[in-house]
A and B are shown apart, each in its own frame.
Chain A
Amino acid sequence: MTTASQETPRQAADAPPKLHADNITVKFGGLVAVNDVSFTIPDRSVVSLIGPNGAGKTTFFNVLTGLYRTTSGRVVLGDKDITNLVPHRIAGLGMARTFQNIRLFGLMTAEENVKVAMHSQLRSGPFHTVVRTRRQRREELQAREFARELLDFVGIGKFADEYARSLSYGDQRRLEIARALALRPSVLLLDEPTAGMNPQESARFTDFVHRLRAEKDLSVLLIEHDMSVVMQLSDRITVLDRGEKIAEGGPDDIRNDERVIEAYLGKSGRGKSA
């Protein structure tokens, strides 16, 4: 695993960040869910967002993907300001995500699930679909090939024709990633991807993320509770607590940060990460 992380190319120091969020604040009525959080994701990096339950991690995710509107602040993806755009526009610009509770299209096959995410890339309108023009058929064929390729990449190629709801839990998580990759994202947001996995599966997942970054040329933003996964994968870690950013830095900095240990790692974290 250590060899794997050494192999992966670290971002060049001068490359512009893939995504940056400046002074994001989200209020729900009187409740401040995220308070003045700034944050960047460098090119081709894995950045983790950690913090105790209710720290505002998922809220922050939802702001980035357009599900919630910011009260103030700015989100920039590449060189485009995406603050408060509708979700499908943000997705089309190359931000993909998975969900904390799996949200697949249960009664569609794995392949169809992946193809749905190609919606913004496909061009054939209803007329072409009904007449089944040459262009439409070629496009569908390419979509199918790409979908199969992605399913193979995440290791569930042979379940392409199974309905998503009949896949096992682990395979559903894989399918979610394949579906997100179909957006050809530059930033991939994974919301607690190892929830419900056993240690071996988590280890496999860690390897998978390394492979992902190496082969797909993207940055990964991770919300994760499993500290061993976080420490192995992350180039940078941002710690949220009660909606505020309390620390930021490399895995070693975070491991030794007093405030983080207090707020979050406290009892169990030190043991795990040692």
Chain B
Amino acid sequence: MGYETKTGAARRRPALPVAHHLRWPLGFTAAAATVFLAYYYLVPGLGPDGQQFFQTWLPLTSVNEALVWVICALGLNIVVGYAGLLDLGFVAFWALGGYTAGWLMSGFFHQVNIHVFGGGLPTLPGIHFNFWFVLLIGAAFCALWGVIIGAPTLRLKSDYLALVTLGFGEIIPQVFVNGEDIGGFNLSNGTKGITPVDPISFGPVELGPFDLVWKYLIFVGIAALVMFISLRLREGRLGRAWLAIREDELAAGMMGVPLMRTKLSAYAVGAVAGGLAGVAFATHVGGVLPDRFNFSISITLLAMVVLGGMGNVWGVTLGALVLAWINSTGLPQFGNTFNESFGTDINFPSYNYLLFGGILVLMMIFRREGILPEARTKLVLREPSRTEREALGADMEESAPELDEALEAEDAEREAVAAPGTEDTEDGLGEKAGSTV
């Protein structure tokens, strides 16, 4: 996956032979590889019972779909978790990515005949770009839309911003639903959607509908890329600016962070992930259907981010995997099993939002910070800040013995300097302090 192992750092931690910051990436790689090997070698070799079990409880299609959710949720995590901008309409980017794939990987625009390393016969009408190009184009297209949507909305704050994003999350899918005849131009084929979308292809090799393992590998790769980008950005100049805006927007501006540009970049980067997810999803289901892009998707994505642990890439990944699995497989299969065992006839999948709601309420009561919280988020939810505590009367000096030490050392420095009456450099002060203490 492109994560390097640093043996030098590893040696310092004898208990676990892996450097701390590599533990999660390596864990992810190992898990992804295990799943791949299991489905590639192990499952086909199992007896009918074993195959049946995997088919019911962990079919590869639902794993792949969960990965699409992971990609999208990681994008939302940049907007909500990093920059602290509540976005209730993230499905817009998923839809935009999906339609990019629909336009560029199908016979939809049958008037033209454009092939760019695409699958299928060169005589096939329509636009047929290769999947990998479409990924790039979809990402860029969504980034552009992120900026277009963001520019007017990001001037608003918190609640207002959330409401306006909600609006855009409705507008864009609605445009696609009703886009059958925009001044005589068929933009989206209306409610019928665009089907079929070309399969993923590598030169002459095309992935058929049953090559799910390879599709899995591709989706894992995209998810890993988005994770990697999230983690790297988080540690740099831009990531710090995002966090600063999340913490205190006014102070961030006063410290030279350009608020508008920084927030827009969070939107754009998040939208890129949304676009990747959209393209991947279109190839996953082999088509683009507008009724898949409704408000509940935005809410589910938000639930994944919050449940997983806002701001923590690994938490969000886990949250997305778990919720997506419950949604697509866990709940329906549990329902089937339950109905068979007790002779009931309850439609469990129709209760999924009841279940989600219940889980969310329980989480907010018992584990507000999410399954795998970012260390800092945990802190704010579990402990009062030091100044808050001091405001309640805890003795400041007592709670900070180290402060006294520091102050004493400083006094010593000052006395040492005051005598000669010259201006010392900072280094000179430090040395003198060292000798007096």
Contacts and interface: CB of A to CB of B under 8 A. Distances in A.
B254 A97 contact: yes
B253 A106 contact: no
Given A126-B233, A126-B265, A130-B229, A171 B403 contact: yes
B235 A168 contact: no
Given A126-B238, A136-B236, A183 B386 contact: no
A37 interface: no
> What range describes how many residues of B lie at the interface?
35 or more
B248 A104 contact: yes
Interface string B230-249: 00110111111101100110
B240 A165 contact: no
Contacts of A116: 240-241, 243-244, 252, 255, 257
Interface residues of A, number: 59
B257 A104 contact: no
B13 interface: no
B259 A88 contact: yes
Contacts of B396: 168-170
Contact of B256 (A129, A132, A149, A183): A183
B243 to A, nearest CB: 6
Interface in B176-232: 228-229, 232
A35 to B, nearest CB: 25
A166 B426 contact: no
A224 to B, nearest CB: 19
Contact of B250 (A67, A119, A158, A183): A67
Interface stretch (A107-115, A254-262, A263-271): A107-115
Contacts of B232: 129-130, 132
A39 interface: no
A168 B411 CA distance: 19
A167 interface: yes
A180 to B, nearest CB: 8
A103 B421 CA distance: 36
A263 to B, nearest CB: 30
A117 interface: yes
B175 interface: no
A120 B256 contact: yes
A12 B402 CA distance: 41
A149 B429 CA distance: 13
Given A104-B251, A107-B247, A132-B232, A115 B400 contact: no
Interface of B: 228-229, 232-233, 235-241, 243-244, 247-248, 250-259, 265, 269, 376-377, 379-380, 385-387, 390, 396, 399-400, 402-403, 406-407, 410-411, 414, 418, 421, 423, 425-426, 430
Given A3-B421, A119-B241, A215-B426, 20 more contacts: A86-B258, A88-B259, A99-B251, A102-B387, A103-B248, A104-B251, A107-B379, A112-B243, A116-B243, A120-B257, A124-B237, A125-B238, A126-B233, A129-B235, A129-B239, A152-B430, A168-B390, A172-B387, A180-B255, A183-B255
Interface of A: 3-4, 7, 65, 67, 86-88, 91-92, 96-97, 99, 102-108, 112, 115-117, 119-120, 122, 124-126, 128-130, 132, 136, 140, 149, 152-153, 155-156, 158, 163, 165-172, 179-180, 182-183, 204, 207, 214-215
